[in-house]
Amino acid sequence: MNNRFISRAMMLAAAALLPLTAVGQDQPELVGAWEGNIRMPASEQAVTLTIEVADGHELTGTINIPAQGEEPLSLGDIEIRDQYVSFEVVGLSGDPLFDGALSVDGNRISGNFSQSGAMFPFELSRRAEANDSGSDDTSVLAGVWEGTLDVGGFTMQLRVQVPSDPQGGVSVMIGSPGQEAREMGVDSLTLLGDSVRLSVLSLGAFYAGTLHENGNAITGTWRQADARLPLTLERRD
């Protein structure tokens, strides 16, 4: 099972889901100065941007990508819902778009940057004062977690393996009945209180969920492309 197959399956469900829209009460989470990079195949492109609130509720911003010009460019269609973030770059060809997820501590945005049909991972960090609320120890998530995605009547099985050793890499295996599962590395896993966030940038996929009080299940939403699919992960022995 390859990434293209997974993406096509996700897109089947996207038409039935609501588009990403801005949520006014959540917008201030993005306000501030950010810096980071876009990871290109042969190099990294530095990025700095500032997001502000205009007219009391609308988000506006500017971005500098020195590799694509020295002058700052405007951001457009800045949107956030359920920790998922997207914004366009106005004035560049190829419909440049940042699409990612805000970490639970509110200090990082990671995801994919697309332009002219190509896609590259990016990560941004707040340049202002750090938020004191750091992530909890994710060792409480150590173990194997399994769940099922329903993509327009087509099911896919997910297995997330979180090692007890913090140096071990977290991995996710995705497969469907009758097809071999494929293992991919998880780029980030964060826990703050009972809020869990996970990203798999190779798929452009993000998961946001809530850890149950008994610690044996996580209920949340899997996002890939425009699809938002409910997903409950249960701990396996």
Q: pLDDT band for position 124 (50/70/90)?
A: very high
- The pLDDT score that the predictor gives to residue 136 is 64
We find that the CATH architecture of domain 3-14+137-236 is Beta Barrel (2.40)
pTM of the model: 0.54
Interval 182-233: pLDDT, tens: 788 887 788 877 888 888 877 778 888 889 988 999 998 888 777 888 999 9
- The pLDDT score that the predictor gives to residue 167 is 62
Please check whether residue 237 is in contact with residue 23, taking contact to mean a CB–CB distance below 8 angstroms: no
- The pLDDT score that the predictor gives to residue 91 is 84
With a cut of 60, say whether residue 62 has pLDDT above it.
Answer: yes
- Cβ atoms within 10 A of the Cβ of 116, count? 9
Token pair, residue 122, equals: 């990016």
- The pLDDT score that the predictor gives to residue 166 is 58
Of 5-9, 88-92, 153-157, 162-166, which range is least confident?
Answer: 5-9
Please check whether residue 49 is in contact with residue 33, taking contact to mean a CB–CB distance below 8 angstroms: yes
Domain 24-126: which CATH class? Answer: mainly beta
Residue ranges of domains in the chain: 3-14+137-236, 24-126
Interval 139-178: pLDDT, tens: 889 888 999 988 888 888 888 888 877 566 677 676 655 6
Which one, of 78, 68, 69, 92, lies nearest residue 32 by Cα? 78
Domains 3-14+137-236 and 24-126 alike in fold: yes
- Cβ atoms within 10 A of the Cβ of 122, count? 23
